[in-house]
Structure 1
């Protein structure tokens, strides 16, 4: 026969770093996710920085060229309207009159060359005196027509960007041409200096980017335990399969008190719907006590909770990483069968104790009868024997006649002996008839046994009672419903605490009170409530001369109309 004892859930292992991440590595996953991300980040940085530097250098080159053209244009336009230049051009010796002044203007404006020429292009001035009187090398047709022209041209001083403008007499006729130019080598030198500066800035940005990528990669390596994408995927797959395949129910709750994971077994035990990650704990539909525990994150080990369908043993522990609480893990195990078997065992134990007590009483009675016979008191011996035997026989006969369920009958006989030891008289209500209903004997034992235990405690601890403490048990089958009642002469349950009395942990016992129940203090009525609700029954509490609890359980398949 397979064992029905559920495995005790183990406390979840404290979250930490894997002892050997190599377990999750593979030949096809040599580089960690962090290393691959570092390479990608460096490549992206290069792809951004290098083109950006090239664009910046090109912009600097265009800017230098535009600035050179602007300087040359400004100079030639200014000279084309200069009266002194016009007078010198119209004088007898334009070359001599212009040479010194033009050179000063060229140097002052950082121009490569400044040339004044005839309308036909014969030079009056040139930085190289040997070129004076020679033909200007470049395009002057536009200037001869009164326009300002700009071009790149290779002349006596090398390739340059040059501007040519016309010089007019006061009457508007063309008197001369003036040209200013900047060698491209000068522009290139300016651009080269800018490129070096931009390159240093780009290298600095690249260094900062790479350093940041390295730091991010190192942090990511620690957080991913050096695993690559394949290792992370495999780890996630294994963990997910493990969490959903374990025999115990697992509920992972985040630090924000939302459900991270609820495996299949947990949903079965809680009768919970399929909830998405991030849902609130209330979405699981758990009982108030269990829901409060799961929301609090309080550490617990092996606490028992009664739900409408099952009795669960719960273990809860926080999940920590590097000293930081990420959430907590709640482990659930089904204890329903264990409680049922424990109840049956409790009834057998009670019956055994009853037999032991009766054997002890019988031994004392026989000893007393034998002494009375020895001293010749025959009538007293017969009277004593028949009187003591009648009490026990009456109880056994009343139980046997009223209770047809063997396990329940044995339970009552055992509880009667326990009650007698505590000075409480346990009797069966006249007219009681409890047939074999088909309900699980273990469930009946859990319900009736715990009710009787609480009744005996209440009756025995009652103060100021006018009569001897008592407990009465009754039952009947009415229209497909098994009705069981347990009454006692105790102080009774105040209407304001009836609901609280059926919650886990509630008890009226003092710290030193006797606890024979195998279920622990404050759990008996909670087990009764959970079992009754699981069977689809109800519990009624009446405060009449103490307490009277009536349990009604549906009995499917029984003949309707069977009464007490």
Structure 2
């Protein structure tokens, strides 16, 4: 079955594109609403300003002595028409009309309309007030005001109407359009640019995925994370753990072991690094996550190698014993051949002395170990290590003060401590100048099991019990770390002096 690949031109838009379109629509709607509100406010302000202007002009004209005196004379139009036109021209209004109380015009910008009735409301002005209205007259729709002209007694003797057509007001608004349009266009342009930059950044961060693809990817990844048989720990760029899968929680527990925290804090790539987590031996692989040249976190995978390490250790022990037994068998065959040759030569006394001497040496070590250690597993371990040491040209000495009788310390833990310390000592003296010697003391006294292993090697450096330190050339051992783990579990302590390691393990009562 071919593997399906994601297409960037799939059924749906990416999140970045959807966000960009949504932002543009929202911003455009907001700008349109704001612009409409601004236009309405400006229009209302322009109309109110026109009303205020024509009212002020009308009241000024009505109080003018020229107007008051002229309306009392015969043929007032001859005086008022030039005056009214000069006021209209000077103020930029569309008409200035002076009329009699019966609506008869004395003035008008169209001379043919002089003497004809005024079109509009005047009742309020005849009563001594002010009329303000928007109505249609001879010049079209206009905003106008009508005020009374009074004599010294307060009697209304004439009316003055001043107006500005709606077209004139609109023309002024059109002239102000750039003041509104330019900021609106700039706002739209800036909003579109900001939305585009944000969508571009989001596209990089989401890799152009759409919502459905991201949902499926989350579901797939979540299922994978919880189904894999390896522990997984994800940390951010600050070293904070952001995700631990089910297997990781099982292996590490609720709190991260110190060695795992150190690995994460180092933020360096590692491959097949052994770490200890409680009673478990884990193999760690860590990868540094980078994006656009920046470190954004680490991914740590953990595999449980506890049983494998135990089996490997047992296999190494068996292999070592096999090699030692093979060497011993070869050596015994040589000695037996020598004894038989001496017998054939008639030198039976020398043959007997040689055979009994070899048996005495072997039996002496066996008797010493078995007699001192009432722990068959430890005794067998030391006898096997003695054979390995002999094969390597190293003398393994079990201190005569060694004594264990019925300790409650688990045999497995005791074997871990003794076996790893002896192995480390054998490795330490390998390749050194003779004499190559390893000394072992195992003593149970006052409820504390003391294990002391010394050698003639170069000594043990500081930090030997940290993860990964080893006397081996590749430097990837965990033997001493396992010793430290056992000591910590039993509340014991470890003392290092030169090439001698002393471990004290309180035994359960």
Q: Give the TM-score band, short-chain normalised.
A: 0.7 to 0.9
1:209-248 matches, within 5 Å, as: 209-248=191-230
Query: Displacement of 1:547 after TM fit?
Result: 4.9
- For 1:246 and 1:435, how far apart are their aligned partners in 2? 44
Aligned residue for 2:71, secondary structure, equals helix
Contact 1:33 1:221 in 2 (8 A): yes
Query: Displacement of 1:545 after TM fit?
Result: 11
- For 1:470 and 1:46, how far apart are their aligned partners in 2? 86
Question: Which structure 1 segments of 5+ residues have no match?
Answer: 1-18, 273-283, 510-514, 555-559
After superposition, the Cα gap between the structure-2 partners of 1:259 and 1:547, relative to the gap in structure 1 and judged at 3 Å, is: closer
1:99-498 matches, within 5 Å, as: 99-194=81-176, 198-199=180-181, 201-272=183-254, 284-287=255-258, 289-399=259-369, 408-420=378-390, 421-427=392-398, 429=400, 432=403, 439=410, 444-456=414-426, 469-474=437-442, 483=449, 485-488=451-454
- For 1:66 and 1:285, how far apart are their aligned partners in 2? 75
- For 1:547 and 1:152, how far apart are their aligned partners in 2? 109
TM-score (norm 2): 0.86
Partner of 1:21: 6
Larger relative contact order (CA 8 Å, sep ≥ 6):
1
User: How many corresponding residue pairs?
Assistant: 505
- For 1:431 and 1:452, how far apart are their aligned partners in 2? 15
Contact 1:532 1:553 in 2 (8 A): no
Query: Displacement of 1:150 after TM fit?
Result: 0.7
- For 1:431 and 1:147, how far apart are their aligned partners in 2? 128
Contact 1:455 1:486 in 2 (8 A): no
RMSD: 3.6
Partner of 1:528: 483
Aligned residue for 1:268, secondary structure, equals helix
Choose 358-367 or 405-414, whichever is displaced more. 405-414
- For 1:99 and 1:195, how far apart are their aligned partners in 2? 36
Aligned residue for 2:162, secondary structure, equals strand
- For 2:199 and 2:495, how far apart are their aligned partners in 1? 66
After superposition, the Cα gap between the structure-2 partners of 1:431 and 1:259, relative to the gap in structure 1 and judged at 3 Å, is: closer
Query: Displacement of 1:366 after TM fit?
Result: 1.9
Aligned residue for 1:21, secondary structure, equals coil
> Cα deviation per residue 1:158-202 (whole Å; 9 max; x = unaligned)?
221111111222343333211101112222333345457645653
Query: Displacement of 1:326 after TM fit?
Result: 0.8
- For 1:545 and 1:80, how far apart are their aligned partners in 2? 121
Aligned residue for 2:112, secondary structure, equals helix
TM-score (norm 1): 0.79
After superposition, the Cα gap between the structure-2 partners of 1:189 and 1:470, relative to the gap in structure 1 and judged at 3 Å, is: closer
Choose 342-351 or 187-196, whichever is displaced more. 187-196
- For 1:553 and 1:501, how far apart are their aligned partners in 2? 25
Contact 1:347 1:449 in 2 (8 A): no
Query: Displacement of 1:120 after TM fit?
Result: 2.7
